Amino acid sequence: MKAEHRMGDSYTDRLFQWMQMEEELPIEYERTIKPKVYKVRYKGRPFILKGYRRIHVIEQQIEFFEHWNYAGKVAAKPIPFYDRVYTKSKLGCEWALFERVEGRHADFSRHRDRKQAIRILHHFHRTTKGIAVLSIPKDPLYIKWERRLEQFENTKDIFTDLRQREMFNEIRTCMSKRLEEFTDHPWGEVEERAWENHEWLHGDVAHHNFMIDGEKRIKMIDFDLLHTGPHLYDYIQLAQRFLPYVELRRSTLLQYFTHLKERDIWWKGVLVPADILREWLYGYRQSIREEASMTRQMRKLEKSWENRKKFVRYAEHML
């Protein structure tokens, strides 16, 4: 059977035909994970082939991994096509190969997976500190959250239409108050210290960026948001990823983060309901594209918010 019949879209067909025929690379298409990300086999071995429109994103990763001595134990590394050639340019993208971890994504509803994710993230932070590679600048966490609040406020009319203005006001008030308390920390000094010490952040600690293989070993994948900054940012966002699964067992969350020194400001960050806004905005955009029901997304938000309010009331006593 011809490759184009297995692949089924012209972009993918052209890409693999070019790689096989013109570049003479023995890359076999297996399946599309998402646009410009493919499962492939190269010289019979499994890899991920990924396309980048912004060349500096992949260039930073390649240089970073070359300086990271423990990368093989912690992460899915970029792999050269041959002789230190890591990228190929075609169809408006820079294409790169990555190690493929055969297994499953972490499931944060499982205690074991949460524990493994914390351990590997801590190992990543510890083994990459001091790598002196030029970092792509990223906004501090609180700036990112301020933008998210603005985007949330722009959805106010939907809450009015669905008679949920009271919930909208509650969420906006809580987000504003918690964000103000978090932002009040001397982050300028903290970030400057992190830049000087070359502290690296993964930047996207979602469950799907932790892969667990058949032998229950865990690795991190997708370093597209890699940048320097306070390690605390990764730990705050990972805690928020855990929250939906532990907020009804409120003391559980603290048990995963006992190694943190700056517990008070971490806790203040966890209490900023930025993750609730993120999930709402994701569902809202799906509904606008008619991929999901707006009423269903609102019900989902209502349930999440009720659980979070209980958690916040508990957590206030911890501060």
Give residue 319's pLDDT band: very low, low, confident or very high (50, 70, 90): low
Q: Given this model, what pLDDT does residue 12 score?
A: 94
Domain ranges of the chain: 3-100, 111-316
The per-residue b/e assignment along 108-135, b for 16 or more CB within 10 angstroms, e otherwise, is beeeebbebbbebbbbbbebbeebebeb
Q: Given this model, what pLDDT does residue 5 score?
A: 37
Beta-bridge partner residues of 29: 40
Range in 27-31, 38-42, 257-261, 311-315 with the lowest mean pLDDT:
311-315
Tokens 């990764």 label which residue?
A: 234
Beta-bridge partner residues of 157: none
Give residue 314's pLDDT band: very low, low, confident or very high (50, 70, 90): confident
> What rounded mean pLDDT belongs to the chain?
94
Fold of 111-316: Aminoglycoside 3'-phosphotransferase; Chain: A, domain 2 (3.90.1200)
What is the number of other CB atoms lying within 10 angstroms of the CB of residue 52? 19
CA distance 301 to 282: 11
Q: What is the pLDDT of residues 180-195, one digit of tens each?
A: 999 999 999 999 999 9
CA distance 124 to 220: 9
- Residue 315's nearest CA partner among 261, 251, 263 is 251
In this model, does residue 72 exceed pLDDT 70?
Answer: yes
Fold of 3-100: Phosphorylase Kinase; domain 1 (3.30.200)
In this model, does residue 248 exceed pLDDT 90?
Answer: no
CA distance 113 to 170: 33
In this model, does residue 92 exceed pLDDT 80?
Answer: yes
- Residue 278's nearest CA partner among 152, 174, 183, 181 is 152
Mean pLDDT of 231-250: 92
Q: Given this model, what pLDDT does residue 211 score?
A: 98
Number of helical (H) and strand (E) elements in the chain, helices listed first: 14, 11
- In the chain, pLDDT over 90 holds for what percent of residues? 89
Q: Given this model, what pLDDT does residue 4 score?
A: 39
Question: Strand, helix or coil at 251?
Answer: coil
Beta-bridge partner residues of 219: 211
- Residue 199's nearest CA partner among 138, 286, 257 is 138
Give residue 252's pLDDT band: very low, low, confident or very high (50, 70, 90): confident
The one-letter amino acid at 179 = L
Which residue blocks in 184-230 are alpha helix, DSSP H?
A: 187-196
Q: Do residues 64 and 131 make contact, with C-beta atoms less than 8 angstroms apart?
A: yes
Token pair listed for 45: 């071995």
Q: What is the pLDDT of residues 1-28, one digit of tens each?
A: 334 335 568 999 999 999 999 999 999 9
In this model, does residue 270 exceed pLDDT 50?
Answer: yes
Work out whether strand 27-34 and strand 103-105 pair parallel, antiparallel, or are unpaired. Answer: unpaired
The per-residue b/e assignment along 276-314, b for 16 or more CB within 10 angstroms, e otherwise, is bbbebbebbeebeeeebebeebbeebeebbeebeebbee
Radius of gyration of the chain (CA): 21
What is the number of other CB atoms lying within 10 angstroms of the CB of residue 85? 8
Work out whether strand 200-201 and strand 45-52 pair parallel, antiparallel, or are unpaired. Answer: unpaired
What is the number of other CB atoms lying within 10 angstroms of the CB of residue 212? 21
Mean pLDDT of 247-254: 81
CA distance 277 to 155: 11
